[in-house]
Amino acid sequence: IDPWVATPNAMMYLPPFCNAVTGREISAPVTGAALSALHKFLIYGFVHPNVAPNAKAGMTMIANALLNCTFEETYKGRDRRRNGSNASSRSVGLQGQSSRSLQGQSSRSLHHQASSSSVIGFGGGGGGRSSSRSNSSHSLPYYHPTRVDDEQVVLKLLDLAAMVVRCSFILRQVPVDEDEDFVEGNPTQYVVEENCLISSDMVVGLLDTCLHVSHIAKSASPLLKSAAMDSLSQIVLQVFAGSGAAEQGTNGGKNRGVERHPEVVKARQEVLAKLASLLDPSSHSEDVIVSSLTAVNIALETSRENLTAPEIVILQNDLCKYLLQWSTTSDLHILALTLRVIFNLFQSIQNHLKVPLEVFLTSVHLRILELRKDGSIPGVISQTSTATAPTDEEGQAAVTHTTTTTPLSASATYANYEEREVVLESLVEFCAEPALMQDIYRNYDCDVACTNLFEKIVSALAKCAMPNDVTPEEFFDAFYGDGKAEFPTEQVATQSSFFTVNAAPAPVTQLNKLAIEGLLGVLNSIARRVHADRSPFLQSLNNQEGKGIGLDSLSDDQEQMTEDELLQRKQQKQNLVAVAEAFNEKPFKQAWIEKAVELEILDTVENAKGVAQILYMASNLDKAKVGEYLSKGPEEDYPFNTKVRQFFISMFDFTEMGFAAALRLFLSKFRLPGEAQCIDRFMEGFANELYRQQGGDNSFFKNSDAVYVLSFSTIMLNTDLHNPMINDENRMTKQQFINNNRGINGGEDFPPEYLSLLYDQIKEQQIQVQRDVGEFMKKEEDDEDFRSAWDSILAKHREVAAASFTPAGQARRNIYKAGIHDREMFTVLVRYLRLCLPAVFARSMDDVIVFKTLRGLKQMAMCADYFDMPDLVNDTIEHLLVEGREYVVNVIIQEHSHVAHHHDARETQSVSSRSLGSVATTEDDESAADDTTYADEEKFDSQIPYSLLSTGKGYSEIDYTGASNHRGLLAMDTGFLLVRRYARKVITAWPIFIECLCAMRDARALPKGLSELDDFADANGNVLPLSPYARVSQKRLDDFYTIRGDPEGKN
């Protein structure tokens, strides 16, 4: 008989143990024993649905018992007995609380009152269901033995809470036909369903219990708090990892995949919403924030690409706006966790967060790393960018756009060193992903509506990679000038035109190392694709497995663009940026339109529709100047501007929008000018277009005049409600707004509820000009600014192209070949690498960093050869060979100085032996002389890293020791390797190659055959006989020409 068949009903043996857990007068040892018994029931599978009847009811009973756990505190009873009290036994708390209630709540916040009975009694304030006034109500130290016993009970409860959630998520096989019962072995097609035995409210309640113990229970010991956080992490991990359904759900090949039960879906959503709500800085402490960020990272790293649409909405609307705010914190732990969440968002739902992720990278990472030309970080720029309304007789606006710059203090001007290190560590993670930087380039740098994010990241990394002996002015001269840094006269430049080495180099810091790691990660991803295209083995491997390499192999659910289309879009963006710069400089001149014609964006300067498209699409436009240009009138004086304005307004789609949303969208593209007549022209055009698109005579509005008047009234309301100069008691009320708009809809009134809703919408969210992403780097936002700006960020998604990111797992499994966009990326990257790699290579004393930079130079040469950049190939080889030549020369100098030193030392010792003085003094002087003489010699005598040389492939292990001391030897070895590999493209590097050979001959480092040089004649001009080596070489040359002249061997 199968022993599992006789498993009793769970509801028969669980109630006594659950009652012991929830009983108010049960002592702590008994409660602990009951918790241990329940834990064993779960471990041994007594409550598993496959073997136990009523398993779901039993699991629910256990979870409910944990949420209502109370027990009598041990030391309280002992004190009462010691005091001789005749009071009846009651359960008490650590600080005078009558009962220790471990009742988890399913509420969505941690706003618990210390005296509430719903709070976990452990460590709470006074005032539970009953109270005790005994002398022992004071809090005991953590090491009190009875207190430790009670904490053991809470530890068991936390462990059991995690176990309940872990055992509740199970897999079930459900037949496709719901009317047909599933039978084991039946070939009927089925689906694997992930189910949960307890309700979503109980899951969140257990999560709340862990949060309460870890953050609210004041008397909980550090060990208990740590255990609570561990249980919380396990619960989150289980909720989002499920039951391993992704791996188990494909057995047999007959099922149609894995589905989630509605209760599982609800639990995931509620847990994610709970964690997002805990990030609100106005409601929770920093400790809670740390716990929430940690749990969010666990959820994202566990679920990765399996998030549902509602979960994505929670992340997009609730989580991200708090992340942007916490990114400005000075707490390094919170900053690191925030950056990790941003990275995980990029890895999981990047296709749904294209605009927010752009804001994160620019306003978080780049903001901290940003460096001005004078060595400072940009100051505070405060702007007032609200929609304005005329209020005085001259038609001037009540609120005008102002821009002020507040200088920062010395402590705020420079980013904290630790903060920059945390940011660089995060960027290194981005750069290390095989396809992420390529996706960033395709999705942002090739999108007209986005910033050149790839170029900004590379530029920021390059600035941080340069050692400290290069000033910020040299940064900008090198990176934004002619591409060559002009260094002071005491600095020695190498033979190459762009590699520079200081005579007295500064040490390489940890920031330099991290930044160079990031740049090398980007280069490695490009080199990986170049190698894949060149390697016949990798090409055949991809063809055999049916995995296409290139853009066509990405996910089918995203519409992909060809490389030519991406290149066209990138070129269009560059042209629009050039036109936008010309417009911002002189908007009312014809020059910027002529430039658009020159760049083939417009066919003629009279193309009003094309001009309107530029003003609508181009980024980085000065929105105040756009408003001034479009509002020019009257029509008889400015007919072209009027046509452009009409085409511009017609590009908006107001079809399915409410009035407030349509007005908000319209005013987001430009800044309203201050003159009343200019505002009137805009509102008239908006009213006509909205009335036309929303049905004309069939519209909710009786005529376009109703839209016109309501638009003016709404702008005045927006100014009145959000003008900081107006006192709250003087602001317009809802009833006043309704009264002001009576009879404007064709002589009729708008419904009061309609105007009331409009008032609430404007009050809750101010109408603002849409910010460019770059503006977030220039502003120091407060809490309200971050929250109010978030909707403006999300609104930009209508303008950007659809996101197309490669899934992280697919990018690691597949190998893609390089394309046109890789050449463009490499062109941007090499502009900075040609400065940073040699600088770090020459200065670093870290053996691993020296080797990595050398490998980066080798990869740079390989990519330059692939993308047909012969000048870069030659420059790289020249730099490496110059380093090698200097190394050989220094070896020769040290050898001669060593011989001379020993000769001088013998003479000094002979003189010293005849002079007066103590022996100790003579030994000290000799030791000092040795230190100064052999200081530079030690590095040449150190271990040579043979395993890193091109001839060191026979070594079983790679040893980096000595790489920094012998960097010149490694550079020369790599240079010779590149000369042999790319000999057909070597042109300008031959002279330095010969110089290296000559230097090696002088150092007696060449083989005997290569070191013998023949003289053709003696001093009198008589021809000398050939040496044996010359005769052998002559014969080989004759044989070569013989074979070449008679390849078929006829003669």
Q: In the structure encoding, which two tokens stand for residue 766, read together? A: 């101010």
Helix axes 967-981, 820-843, angle to 10 degrees: 150
Q: Of 134-148, 184-198, 564-578, 693-707, where does the model show the most confidence? A: 693-707
Interval 735-790: pLDDT, tens: 999 999 999 988 899 999 999 999 998 888 888 766 555 555 444 444 445 555 56
Name the residue with higher pLDDT: 815 or 91: 815
Nearest 5°: the CA angle 773, 326, 420 is: 75
pTM of the model: 0.75
d(CA 975, CA 960): 19
Q: How close are the terminal C-alpha atoms of the chain, in Å?
A: 96
**Identity (one letter) of the amino acid at 1045?**
G
pLDDT of residue 190: 66
pLDDT of residue 483: 40
User: What residues are paired with 768 via a beta bridge?
Assistant: 386
Torsion angle of C-alpha atoms 459, 460, 466, 470, degrees rounded to 10: 90
Nearest 5°: the CA angle 833, 426, 529 is: 50
pLDDT of residue 375: 41
pLDDT(869) > 70: yes
Question: pLDDT tier at 617 (50, 70, 90 boundaries)?
Answer: confident
In sequence order, the 6+-apart residues with CB closer than 8 A to the CB of 668 are 768, 769, 770, 792, 795
Q: Strand order of the sheet with strand 190-196?
A: 169-175, 190-196, 258-260
Question: Of 722, 661, 719, whose CA–CA distance to 686 is shortest?
Answer: 661
Question: pLDDT tier at 155 (50, 70, 90 boundaries)?
Answer: very high
Alpha helices in 619-731 (DSSP H): 623-630, 639-650, 659-667, 676-693, 704-722
- DSSP string covering 951-971, please? T-TT-SS---TTTTTTHHHHH
Q: Mean pLDDT of all residues in the chain?
A: 74
Question: pLDDT tier at 321 (50, 70, 90 boundaries)?
Answer: confident
Interval 235-261: pLDDT, tens: 999 998 865 444 434 444 444 556 788
Q: In the structure encoding, which two tokens stand for residue 223, read together? A: 């060990």
pLDDT of residue 976: 94
Peptide bond into 187 cis (omega under 30): no
d(CA 465, CA 844): 11
Question: Of 717, 609, 615, whose CA–CA distance to 659 is shortest?
Answer: 717
pLDDT of residue 753: 92
pLDDT of residue 953: 63
Helix, coil or strand: residue 983 = helix
H or E stretch covering 173:
strand 169-175
Interval 792-807: pLDDT, tens: 666 666 677 788 888 8
Nearest 5°: the CA angle 812, 815, 817 is: 140
pLDDT of residue 99: 39
pLDDT of residue 413: 44
List of E strands, 327-411: 380-383, 403-406
pLDDT of residue 234: 93
Query: DSSP state, 768?
Result: B
pLDDT of residue 924: 42
Encode burial over 602-622: b for 16+ CB neighbours within 10 A, e otherwise. beeeebbebbbbbbbbbbebb
pLDDT of residue 971: 93
Helix, coil or strand: residue 674 = coil
**Identity (one letter) of the amino acid at 555?**
S
Cα 774 to the center of its chain, rounded Å: 17
Query: DSSP state, 113?
Result: -
Interval 929-973: pLDDT, tens: 344 344 455 555 567 888 888 776 656 677 888 888 899 999 999
| Minimum mean pLDDT range among 46-60, 375-389, 700-714 | 375-389
Question: Of 387, 392, 384, 399, whose CA–CA distance to 679 is shortest?
Answer: 387
d(CA 43, CA 232): 19
Judge contact between 216 and 110, C-beta under 8 A: yes
In sequence order, the 6+-apart residues with CB closer than 8 A to the CB of 46 are 7, 10, 52
pLDDT(194) > 60: yes
CB-facing half-sphere around the CA of 1035: CA atoms within 13 A: 6
Mean pLDDT of the 573-581 span: 87
Interval 892-933: pLDDT, tens: 888 777 655 555 554 444 433 333 333 333 344 444 434 434
- What percentage of the chain reaches a pLDDT higher than 70? 68
Question: pLDDT tier at 1049 (50, 70, 90 boundaries)?
Answer: low
Mean pLDDT of the 420-427 span: 92
Question: Of 74, 138, 61, whose CA–CA distance to 100 is shortest?
Answer: 74
Question: pLDDT tier at 469 (50, 70, 90 boundaries)?
Answer: low
Question: Of 144, 265, 271, whose CA–CA distance to 211 is shortest?
Answer: 271
Question: Of 1, 12, 10, 18, whose CA–CA distance to 52 is shortest?
Answer: 10
pLDDT of residue 592: 92
pLDDT(107) > 80: no
